[in-house]
Amino acid sequence: MIKTINGWRAIFATIIVLYHMGVTRFVLMPAGVFFFFMASGMLMEMKHPFRQLDKASYKKFALRSAIKIYPLHWFTLALLLLVLYLTGQLVIDPLALTLNFTLLHSWSLCHHIYFSYNQFSWFLSALLFCYLCFPLLSRYFMPLRMRYKLMIVGALSLVCLTIMLLTDELGFIAMTVFPPFRIIGFILGMMLVEMLPLLKHVSFLSTESKGTDAELVALALLSALTMMVEDNSEGLYKLSEMCLWWIPVAILLLVCVFYNRREGIWGKILASPPMQWVSGIAFEFFMLQRVAALAFTYFMVPLLVHLGVGQPSASSGFFDLSGINPSSLLPWFVVPIDLLLSWLVNRLFTRPVKRLLLKAI
């Protein structure tokens, strides 16, 4: 386990949730999405390389991948449907619900399907595709010479990026959740593994004292790119969602792996128990954010009004919490609710169900 990567997972998961709750100043949100896919590809290639592949080993790997993803998806989907029913918002679309249930919805180019119900489940749909492709990529793609791998990834990237640049806004969004586009980052993460032996031969990186320096350089690059996107958000918007973060995220991952167990100051913060705790429930944290937002909006706000903290607002049709728009409070209430729900689901559902199903296979 590389604790610094877990620490970054916690940071990016929090940034993504806050962004979805309206804190749009976090332009690092696309970087977080790239990080999850690249980190998954890198870690899987490091831990489970398929140099030999047969039907039995692929079937076992596919089942283990499905166990990691489907039970949590089904549980959070059922919980969301219950909350939507209790709040009077439940509308059943048989096609959208079926595709969402099977995690095939991110393959659709229809906005009302790939963002249907728990709209954040597109991530699991794309990640499942990456997992199922991993044994094939590890066995047949990774042994290729580097120039051939770069040519293949470059061609796939060029096709996706051209489509994204030429399409309209809805088409662009559809491409960002399309599994064949997301697998590019996953493959790049796998390819980073081949760079690690090369770093060992770089003399100025090999000393213990360089851990903090490398972390600071990686953070400086990430911060500089963040400020550039912030200053020119319109002009770099599509580029930011596509490939602008590939290099800084790759550097972050390489630094985390190369200086594993000899990190600097920032690495020790990333490896701290609170960061590891959030990282351990990151999947639940990501999947339960809409449930947490609905719980605050429809259950907590009326309770606060009942307790005299605020009052109904006739002009807005919502609730006025002592003169503060409840939507502005949404991120800061939702994150604690989401963390609590995620911890409960992880302890009471994800872990025991995963253990039970893994024993069955």
Q: Domains of the chain: which residue ranges?
A: 3-360
Whether pLDDT at 322 is above 50: no
Distances 32 to 51, 113, 291 between C-alpha atoms, Å: 30, 23, 21
Residues 35-64 have pLDDT tens digits of 999 999 999 999 888 888 888 889 999 999
pLDDT in the model for residue 324: 45
Whether pLDDT at 141 is above 60: yes
Query: Cβ atoms within 10 A of the Cβ of 292, count?
Result: 25
- Give me the mean pLDDT over the 146-153 stretch: 91
Whether pLDDT at 323 is above 60: no
Burial class (CB in 10 A: 0-12, 13-18, 19+), 315: exposed
For residue 324, the 8-state DSSP code is B
pLDDT in the model for residue 238: 64
Whether pLDDT at 215 is above 80: no
pLDDT in the model for residue 200: 72
CA nearest 292: which of 61, 80, 50, 46? 80
Whether pLDDT at 231 is above 60: no
Give the residue, 182 or 264, on which the prediction is more confident.
Answer: 182
pLDDT in the model for residue 104: 93
pTM of structure: 0.86
For 328-343, give the secondary structure using H, E and C: HHHHHHHHHHHHHHHH
pLDDT in the model for residue 303: 67
- Give me the mean pLDDT over the 182-210 stretch: 78
pLDDT in the model for residue 136: 93
pLDDT band at 359 (very low <50, low <70, confident <90, very high): confident
pLDDT in the model for residue 73: 95
